[in-house]
Structure 1
Amino acid sequence: MASTTAAKGADATQAPVAGGPQLKLLVDKRSRRVLYAEARKDAVDFLIGLLRVPAGLAARALANRGEPAPGCLGSLYAGAMALEDAFFVAASPNRDALLSPASLPSAALPLLLGEGAVPPPPPPPPPSRYFRCGAYTVPCRGNPTNVTDVAGLPCPACRQPMSVEMRLTPGDAHGKLALATAQEAAGLAPGGYVKDVVTYLVMDDLTVAPMSTISAIMLLKKFDVKDCSALEEMTVVLGTKEAVMLLKVSLQSSTALTDVFSGGVSIDRIDG
């Protein structure tokens, strides 16, 4: 299973864990239930990435039809959809495009959504490509003014083949999307889905939300925690095996973190 470290108490110092994205779990030692987890950007990107596989798309389709999604996938999708724009890398995030792949294999649809499911819309067409002439001769030298979407078409002005591809910079009405795209291309903004500006709270059912001191205190109150010595901190590293385990458990359970990382599910059961 995932690499873990455990501490004697919720406020104990954790030894660093090498590897990929990490979740810091707060576990009730008596029931072995995960109360919640702390996560940084890379771990939240990892979890949101689970929505980009066919099972995640199924959760999206069910949610859009007003039906409950199986297990934790519905709560993961709902939590990601509820995040404010300020927490996403994209300036104006299109959540439907961001949180799901372009298409779902039609053969998988009955397995995930049930018989009689409506096939998803076809994937969007590839973006248009535009070309200009080489601008080597007059009247286009250094200042081409004609563009085409058919490579090799003769330029109306200089008659040279229009084969030099031009790059289109998209933007929205306020230019925010274009600015964010340019910043990311220049290495000024992080990739992924969410920004690395806060610590995120991940619930046992994979609901994601920004974390605050107040939210943590209220959760301890909700779970009726009166003695912090009954709590244990455990750090887990997320990788390919953990992604498979979380996906399988999330289709059936509403306590994915407990089931996968705190004794509910074994690798042998998942692999079998």
Structure 2
Amino acid sequence: MATPKVTLKLLINKKTNKVLFAEAGKDFVDFLFTLLSFPLGTVIKLLSKNRMVGCLGNLYQSIEELGDAFFQPKIGKATVLNPKIPFRPSGSTLLLSDGGEDGIGSTTRKFYLCPSYHKNVADNPRAKCPQCSSKMRLEFSFLKAPPAGVNSEEGGFVKGVITYMVMDNLEVKPMSTISSITMLNKFNVQEVGALEEKVIELGMDEVTLSVFPLALFMGLNLLKASLQSQTVLTNVFLGA
């Protein structure tokens, strides 16, 4: 079975050593759109509190160090430190995954009922039914239906029949010959010889860097750069 890969074609200005834009398929665009669904607690957990810009890393650490006795019993510290992502459509590219239950790798959300099947639903098994006071411990899964007219087998956020242009600052638009020429004019590219195409392939099972697969390592860098820079693709793929 072939190893899944996320492929990007970067158009690079060799004179400035900057990415002008990337030609990408739905897999990479789905990943970028998934970044917007991450709760802040998940972002801090993925990047680690020491890599966060500003004070949010300190806030996360203070919650880690607080004892469980300080938190409401129906919520718990884990709810704050490991928030659930509201929705990620099935088929989205998993460049980032914490492997946790209901985490980034989850394609469904879990909900809970009381043993008496009263008409109450909770997303935390420690919650109590307001009618019978029993814990809401009967688990069931919520599957989000695809929008009307969308191929449910394809999954993800965007359609796969389209090639997308991803700018260095992560703007996304449909790819076309006219849009490519417009971008070259915008960046005042005078010599075609100054341009270079570079193909990036991120395999899900590639050689590891430290403890991370290469795709996960790149995914973390893309997430981090998107919070700090307007030249994300250049920073991550050219090291500039």
What TM-score results when the alignment is normalised by the length of structure 2?
Answer: 0.51
Q: Match of 1:190, SS? A: coil
1:177 alignment partner in structure 2: 147
Residue identity opposite 1:194 in structure 2: V
Given the alignment, which residue of 169, 177, 182 partners 1:218? Answer: 182
Q: 1:34 & 1:204 partners in 2: Cα distance?
A: 6
Question: What stretches of structure 1 of length at least 5 have no aligned partner?
Answer: 1-17, 59-69, 71-106, 111-118, 130-146, 151-166, 265-272
Say if 1:41 and 1:27 are closer, same or farther in 2 by CA, change over 3 A: same
2:49 alignment partner in structure 1: none
- Structure 1 residue 50: deviation in Å? 2.3
Q: Match of 1:52, SS? A: coil
Q: 2:13 & 2:239 partners in 1: Cα distance?
A: 12
- Structure 1 residue 54: deviation in Å? 3.3
Q: 2:148 & 2:162 partners in 1: Cα distance?
A: 24
Q: Match of 1:226, SS? A: coil
Question: What stretches of structure 2 of length at least 5 have no aligned partner?
Answer: 44-52, 54-58, 63-79, 87-108, 121-140, 203-214
Say if 1:244 and 1:213 are closer, same or farther in 2 by CA, change over 3 A: same
Query: C-alpha deviations, 1:4-47, integer Å up to 9, x for none?
Result: xxxxxxxxxxxxxx752111100001111100010011111122
Alignment of 1:104-253 (within 5 A): 107-108=59-60, 149=119, 177=147, 180=150, 184=152, 189-238=153-202, 239-253=215-229
Structure whose residues are more often strand by fraction? 2
Percent identity reads 44
Q: 1:254 & 1:43 partners in 2: Cα distance?
A: 18
Q: Which has the higher contact order (CA 8 A, sep 6+)?
A: 1
Pairwise CA RMSD of aligned residues?
4.3
Runs of 4+ aligned structure 1 residues displaced above 4 Å come to 55-58, 107-110, 122-129, 147-150, 167-171
Query: C-alpha deviations, 1:129-161, integer Å up to 9, x for none?
Result: 7xxxxxxxxxxxxxxxxx9859xxxxxxxxxxx
What TM-score results when the alignment is normalised by the length of structure 1?
Answer: 0.46
- Structure 1 residue 197: deviation in Å? 1.9
Query: C-alpha deviations, 1:54-91, integer Å up to 9, x for none?
Result: 35999xxxxxxxxxxx9xxxxxxxxxxxxxxxxxxxxx
Given the alignment, which residue of 256, 262, 270 partners 2:238? Answer: 262
Given the alignment, which residue of 12, 19, 25 partners 1:27? Answer: 12
Q: 2:28 & 2:181 partners in 1: Cα distance?
A: 22
Q: 1:240 & 1:206 partners in 2: Cα distance?
A: 18
2:24 alignment partner in structure 1: 39
